[in-house]
Structure 1
Amino acid sequence: MRKFLLASTALGAFALAQPAQAQVALGDTGLTATVTGTAASDYLFRGISQTRSRFATQLNAEVAHSSGFYIGGFLSNVRFLGTDARQEVDLFGGYRFTALDFNFDVGGIWYTYPGYDRAPGQFGLNYAEAQLKVSREVGPVNLLGQFNYSPNFFGSSGDGYYLEGGADWKTGIWDLTLGGRIGHQWIQRNVRFGTPDYAWWSVAISREFAIEGIGTISASVGYYDTSISRGDCAGRQDVCNARALGSISFKF
């Protein structure tokens, strides 16, 4: 389940520990390529671990045009209780533009889990979401908002609605950025998804370290939690509880 994000994605920062991005111009085509590599202590999607509290390695790649249109993909390891799904591969695309001093990102994401062998009685995992992101910089603070809708959410759980807000503050102290997020997920068929409708929140801090002639390393650490009790978490797992998340990203 990318953020991702997407970011998840990478724009929208600390929901996935704010990975860094690098852009490379592709000749005179107006196209730029962006590649992000991340290693993290966990893979959290909207506050819930996708790796059952295990280490995650991720790759995000994007090609964007100067007109604002973009396409890309995301890859991560995953581990879900009761399934043999081990990879997540997402495809995404959309259009970014600025209006009235606000930055908009309108697009869609197709989440897939190749290699998942759907056993009799199990539900499908693949799903699609429409996404709208809005941001605005006010001095050293970047304000962020996001809305997602899926007509058939993860696990064939029906309509899924997601709303998120947050802010990133460039503190001016040791080049640190402090970010916070709060979101809420609504799910039509909670039994199939495995949790009730829930809220999640996070606070994280990050810093970039430039390496001349090579690239930039971005390090982040944060605290994440949800409103889901252990008894209401799918299979009574510990994937919904409070935790710290650390990550290192490399842009090149």
Structure 2
Amino acid sequence: MRKILLASTAFTGLSLAQPAAAQVAIGNTGLEASITGTVASDYLFRGISQTRSRIATQATAELAHSSGFYIGGFVSNVRFLGTDARQEVDLFGGYRFAVGGLKLDLGGIWYTYPGYSRPAGAYGLNYAEAQVRASYEVGPVNLLGQFNYSPNFFGSSGNGFYAEGGADWKTGIFDLTLGGRIGYQWIERNVRFGTPDYAWWSVAISREFAIPGIGTVTAAVGYYDTSIRRADCAGGQNICAARALGSISFKF
């Protein structure tokens, strides 16, 4: 369930913890490569912990062309109760373009959990999503929106629809960026997924620090919560509750 640490732009993820990756041009091909590494106190996907409140280490790599097309991958540790899944590896791609001042990203993601030993009769974890993302800058504020659809969401839970909105404000105070997000997840087969349809929200603050000759470090901290009661959270787990999330990301 990629994404979900923090991003300052709509095209590196809508949550506030994964910074835009540093880009390196590849000759005169029009291609640029980027790599981002993140260490965080948790891995939250749409407000729900994917590591059962444990530390997450993640990496994202992307290859983008000047035409707007891009492909990439994401990897993170995960920990789901009752399964032996320990890694998430996602493949993504799409097309970015602008219409006036509106930036758009049309793409898709394939979420996989290599190493998961699926017991007989158990539901699969892998799934795919189509997504549309948009951003629009108004002075120091970047407005963000996102919509995702999966024909068979995580855990073979049927149709999944997701909408998210938010904004990032460059405060001008100590180079801090203040961001907020609110999203809603609809799930066809709630019993299989483990929660009812739900909302989640966050408020976070981040700052970049340049390291000459090496790259940039981004530090972020935020507050995250969902509308899910503990009794309705995947068998009563404490993975849907309010929590603070801190992260350090490295751009090379």
Scaled by the length of structure 1, the TM-score of the pair is 0.97
1:72 maps to which residue? 72
Alignment of 1:146-157 (within 5 A): 146-157=146-157
SS of 1:85's partner is: coil
2:233 maps to which residue? 233
Alignment of 1:103-182 (within 5 A): 103-182=103-182
Measured against aligned partners, the alpha-carbon deviations of 1:64-113 in whole angstroms (never above 9, x if no partner) come to 00000000000000000110000000000000000031000000000000
Q: Which moved more, 1:242-251 or 1:2-11?
A: 2-11
Alignment of 1:189-208 (within 5 A): 189-208=189-208
SS of 1:79's partner is: coil
SS of 1:192's partner is: helix
1:11 maps to which residue? 11
Cα distance in 2, alignment partners of residues 193 and 93 from structure 1: 26
Is the alpha carbon distance of 1:214 and 1:10 closer, same or farther for their aligned partners in structure 2, counting shifts above 3 Å?
Answer: farther
2:43 maps to which residue? 43
Quote the RMSD (CA, aligned, Å): 1.6
Cα distance in 1, alignment partners of residues 9 and 135 from structure 2: 13
2:27 maps to which residue? 27
SS of 1:164's partner is: strand
The CA deviation at 1:121 is 2.6
Code of the aligned partner of 1:220: A
SS of 2:74's partner is: strand
Cα distance in 2, alignment partners of residues 6 and 58 from structure 1: 12
The CA deviation at 1:59 is 0.2
Note the residue ranges of structure 1 that are not aligned, 5 or more in a row. none
The CA deviation at 1:18 is 3.1
Note the residue ranges of structure 2 that are not aligned, 5 or more in a row. none
Contact 2:226 2:241 in 1 (8 A): yes
SS of 1:156's partner is: coil
Where does structure 1 differ by over 6 angstroms across 4 or more consecutive aligned residues? 5-10
SS of 2:235's partner is: helix
Code of the aligned partner of 1:163: A
2:54 maps to which residue? 54
SS of 1:185's partner is: strand
2:217 maps to which residue? 217
Cα distance in 1, alignment partners of residues 5 and 206 from structure 2: 16
The CA deviation at 1:11 is 3.3
Code of the aligned partner of 1:126: N
Cα distance in 2, alignment partners of residues 8 and 175 from structure 1: 13
1:183 maps to which residue? 183
SS of 2:11's partner is: coil
2:245 maps to which residue? 245
Is the alpha carbon distance of 1:181 and 1:247 closer, same or farther for their aligned partners in structure 2, counting shifts above 3 Å?
Answer: same
Is the alpha carbon distance of 1:144 and 1:21 closer, same or farther for their aligned partners in structure 2, counting shifts above 3 Å?
Answer: same
Scaled by the length of structure 2, the TM-score of the pair is 0.97
